[in-house]
């Protein structure tokens, strides 16, 4: 699904703290950060479907399984089918 042909119903920008990911062992940090991100979006946007862009995934995994970031700034976009797509916010 590309940005051009989707119809945006709602758009929100969040800064998600990923500190809960740092409370587990180092071999589980980035998978836990991914779950924290998904749970946050599910709680705040209540989507029927959730898609995470590859740039968000690469941002979380860029330092491997041990070094997930402490926080992430994302843009959540809801389309007409109540599917939320998560993008990374760049350069604000």
Domains and CATH numbers, the chain: 8-88 (3.10.440.10)
Which pLDDT tens digits describe the chain residue by residue (92 residues)?
555 556 888 999 999 999 999 999 999 999 999 999 999 999 999 999 999 999 999 999 999 999 999 999 999 999 999 999 999 998 75
Q: Which residues pair with 23 in a beta bridge?
A: none
Contacts of 82 by beta carbon, 8 Å cutoff, 6+ apart:
47, 48, 49
Question: Strands, DSSP E only, in the chain?
Answer: 8-17, 49-52, 71-79, 83-88
Distance separating alpha carbons of residues 35 and 26, to the nearest angstrom: 15
Coil, strand or helix: which one is 67?
A: coil
């Amino acid at each position: 699904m590309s940005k051009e042909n989707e119809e945006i119903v709602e758009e929100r920008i969040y800064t998600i703290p990923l500190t809960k990911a740092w409370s587990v062992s180092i071999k589980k940090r980035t998978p836990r950060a991914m779950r924290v991100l998904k749970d946050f979006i599910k709680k705040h946007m209540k989507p029927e479907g959730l898609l995470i862009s590859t740039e968000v995934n690469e941002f979380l995994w860029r330092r491997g399984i041990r070094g997930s970031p402490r926080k992430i700034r994302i843009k959540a976009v809801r389309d007409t089918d109540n599917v939320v797509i998560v993008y990374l916010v760049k350069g604000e």
